[in-house]
Structures are given as structure tokens and as C-alpha cells.
A and B are shown apart, each in its own frame.
Chain A
Amino acid sequence: MKPAPFDYVRPSSVEEACRVLAEAGGGATVIAGGQTLMPLLALRMSQPFILVDINHIAALKGVTRVAGGTRVGPATRQADALRDETLARHLPAFVTALGHVGHYQTRNRGTVGGSVALGEPAAEMPATAVALGARIEIASVRGTRTVPADEFYLGPYMTVLEPDELVTGVVYPDWPDGHLVLFREVAQRPGDFALVGLVGALALESGLIARAGVGWFGMGPTPIRARQAEDALVGSALDRIDPQAMARLALADTAPFDDHHVSAEYRRTVGARIFARALAETLGIRSAA
């Protein structure tokens, strides 16, 4: 269980990191917390020539308020983000989901950006970025760009990131004060990747749902936004919402799969159940589920 040999570099700025990535011509891999990458290296599923350690780049750490949202530096430790007062106040759905990422020991080292950038389809952070409408800031020697989270993920561990690009920030837009959090996941044990999970936010305005963002994880090759359910929810009066019908709509956007844990059918059944329950519970309405 030993990684294949590689060179290790520890840039101290984003510019330096981008330069190394560009010069490596696709042979470099970025390491942040390493809580997913280190196993991939140990199992030799990943064999970079150069490992670029971004843990010493101060500009990539910390949580800041920006116009209309909250920016999380990608190298911010998950444990630090969990304790962050700005995130607790502005992004309760993010904090709820983050509490389900890995274990105490891995959250102490793992980073928010690492989880977002890797794109494990059953992980909480990519789905949270998609659900809340986050934008992912990216840099390379060629310049910078920003990609909406729901256009960032292409497949399991596949994203629009080019080999020479680095995630430099994840910006979560503000949701109205007092918005509600939707979160439910089913995993074999706490801390395991979810078999099925959903995360989202709902903003109410005079008895109507004014804004909805819902993302699935473990329900397809990427995190999946439940667009049809979001569209149906927005404008609905709370007393007119049928959680079961919404669950069916939410499932319509998913593409669940069989794996060695459970079947696609299990994922659909459980997904519908937890969606209806989470929605009913969050809105305080009755569900037949």
C-alpha cells in the first residue's frame, strides 16, 4: 500500500501553483487535505509525477463575505468551516451537510475545496454547491474563470477543470434570512459515503415558496440538481404542496445506478421516501410517507 514515486512541491502562492501545474503538462495533481487523494495514491489509482501541495497558500484559506454571498477558500479545513460563525449564519445548509462529511479525524485535515473539486458523486459537498447555486472560481496561467457548480461536474471524479487549473474559491450566494434547510442521507455507517442523499434550501415568503435549491448525491454519475421539483416548488403555497408528488418530480432528474452496495431500484425507493419526509418535516406539513 505505497504510492508510486512522485516529486513534491509546496508553492506559496496561487501564481506559483499555477506555474507548476502548467509546466507539468498534465502530470501534476493538487493535494489539499488529501483525505480522498491519499487513498487513491496508496491504491495507485492515481499516479501523478508531481504532487502540488496547496496547504501553504494563505490566499486559499478562510471564509469571507463577498458581494451577495460567502466565499470559502478551497484549502479551508472542514473542521474549521464547521466552527465558522459566518457560515453558520449565512449557509446553514452547507454546515449541516459538512457535518456529514467523513469522520472527525478526516474533517480535521480534509478541505472544503478538495471535496468540491474531486466530484465524488456520493459526497455531500459537490451536491451542496449545486443545490445552493455556488460558483467555482478557477485560475491557471491562462487566466481566471468562474463556473456555476451545476456545470462543473461531468462524471464520477470528472469535472471541467483542465489539468493546469486550480480551484481558488467557492462562492455560495446568499439565501434570504430564515430560509429552511433540507437535508437527509442514508449511509451504511455515519461517515461513509451516502447511498442516497439530498441537500437543499427553501426560502418562504408570505406562505409561498419563493426560492428552492435541491441537490441529490449518490443518485447518478454527478451531483444532480432536482430542477423539476425546484420549479414546481417555487410559487407553491405551503398548504398545497404534496410531498409525494414533489418526490416523484425530484426523482425525474436522477440517474441512479446499481453498485456493490445497493441497486438503482433501492436508490429510487429510498430517494423518494427521504425526499418526501425531508420536505414534509422541513415545511412542517403532513406527509403520507
Chain B
Amino acid sequence: MSEHVIDLTVNGHRHSARVEARTGLGEFLRDTLGYTGTHLACEHGVCGACTVMVDGVAMRSCLMLAVQADGAQVTTVEGLAAPDGTLHPVQQALKDNFGLQCGFCTPGVAMTLAAVTRDHAGEGLEHALTSAMSGHLCRCTGYQGIRRAIRQLAGDGMREGA
């Protein structure tokens, strides 16, 4: 089995590490680098809990090898809030609308919603956010809190009510 030295940036910090070829990106982020905000649940691409951004694009960190992230800019949920602790709008919306309960799926949900809100503007945003949620399983909320958070992010949260 081969080992590889990789260099990557996580939430703006540069890291260099030696990894086994088979090590998944999510496992590497958690166990080697200590970014335990990324949650691993199913570890085979079904649940979406481990979603991170790689070069700004939301993807499942269990479906990518750490060695494949060599040279990449990775953002995890720890990188969403501002340095002073101010929550990212997506985190604030999830908090305001009880869009989480146990919180296990939340980091992945937050990364997807953050990527989609950054890439879409205006009319299609609510639909884009809701569609992208098909890639996440949440066993607590029944999704309604997350949908309210999405409406808030799409700008009509006030009109729709909680």
C-alpha cells in the first residue's frame, strides 16, 4: 500500500501530512488534523453528514481520498463563522429556525447551504437550496426547521413566518 505526502489548506491554514492511499478525506480531516466538526456517519456516500467544500465546491468527504485533496483548499464547518465568532448566515438561519436537534447532520447541511447560497442569487435560491437538501439525511428535525431556515436564507422568512 502506498503512502503519500500531501499539502493542503484547511480553513486558511496550511497542512502537510503523510497519508495512506486508502485514507478518506473526512477521516484525515478528523483524525489527523483534528477538524472534528466534519462528521462521518455512513461513510459510503449516503447521508451527507461529512460534506465539506473542496476548492469551494461542496462534496462528500467520505467519497474522496485524502491524497486526492493534495494541493486543494478545503473548508470545513469550523471555517464558516467569522474569526470573531459571528455565525455564517447559514448557521444563524439554522439556529433561528430550530434547523437542528442532535446536530450530527448539521455540519454537512451547513456546508451545502453555504455553497449553494454563495453560487445562486435571487429567484431560484429557495428551490436550489431545497433540491440540494436531497443529499442529506436528518433523523431529528423532520426537515421542517431546515426548510424554514432555507426560506429565511432565500429572503422571505419573515413573510412565511416560523
Binding site for B on A (CB under 8 A): 1-9, 34-35, 38-39, 41-43, 51, 53, 55, 79, 102-106, 108-109, 189-191
Contacts and interface: CB of A to CB of B under 8 A. Distances in A.
B162 interface: no
Given A6-B22, A104-B135, A1 B63 contact: no
Interface in B1-16: 1-2, 4
Given A2-B22, A6-B1, A191-B134, A108 B57 contact: yes
Interface in B46-93: 46, 48, 51, 57-60, 62-65, 67-68
Nearest to A191: B134
B22 A4 contact: yes
B112 interface: yes
A34 B21 contact: no
Given A55-B68, A105-B48, A109-B64, A190 B134 contact: yes
B46 to A, nearest CB: 8
Contacts of A2: 22, 24, 27
A104 B45 contact: no
A3 B22 CA distance: 6
A56 to B, nearest CB: 10
Contacts of A103: 48, 132, 134-135
Given A6-B1, A42-B44, A43-B44, A105 B22 contact: no
A8 B112 contact: no
B23 to A, nearest CB: 9
B1 A105 contact: no
